[in-house]
Amino acid sequence: MCAKGFGQSQPTKIDKLIESAVRYCHKRHPEALDSIFDYLPVNFNQRVVTGILAALQKDIDTLSWFCGYMASEINRSEDNQKPHHPIAELSKTLIESGMEPFTDFMPYPGCRIVILNSEK
């Protein structure tokens, strides 16, 4: 008889979605992220985004890429081959300057960034 996992909580559907989404961010695979976000209710999407942000907190490059994705600048995997992504680069600069995505600034669909905390 094996007690593997006994007494430990099992990953929830949200946990599994966050894990997949983080993996897709690392692989720079926007189509796969679309497959997650396009079919979830808004409250699930918010929880997944929060989980992604927490998981990528120390990975500025991937977090910046994710901000570019959220601003709809990165629409296809082929877009990753372009020399630079202005929104991702701006996001990286803001993060390196001490701003937090979705707290101090937020990617906005249409290749824009909204500054939420102008004090920083």
Contact 91, 53 (CB under 8 A): no
pLDDT at residue 120 above 60? Answer: yes
Q: How large is the angle between the packed helices 42-55 and 60-70, nearest 10 degrees? A: 160
Better-scored residue on pLDDT, 81 or 3: 81
**Res 79: pLDDT:** 86
**Res 5: pLDDT:** 61
Contact 29, 69 (CB under 8 A): no
Pairing of strands 105-108, 112-115: antiparallel
**Res 32: pLDDT:** 96
Using one digit for the tens of pLDDT, what is the confidence trace for 76-104?
888 888 877 899 999 999 999 999 999 99
**Res 1: pLDDT:** 45
> Strand, coil or helix: what is 3?
coil
Residue 14: burial class (beta carbons within 10 Å; 0-12, 13-18, 19+): middle
Quick one: average pLDDT of 55-72? 95
How remote is the C-alpha of 54 from its chain's centroid?
9
pTM: 0.85
Using one digit for the tens of pLDDT, what is the confidence trace for 17-55?
999 999 999 999 999 999 999 988 989 999 999 999 999
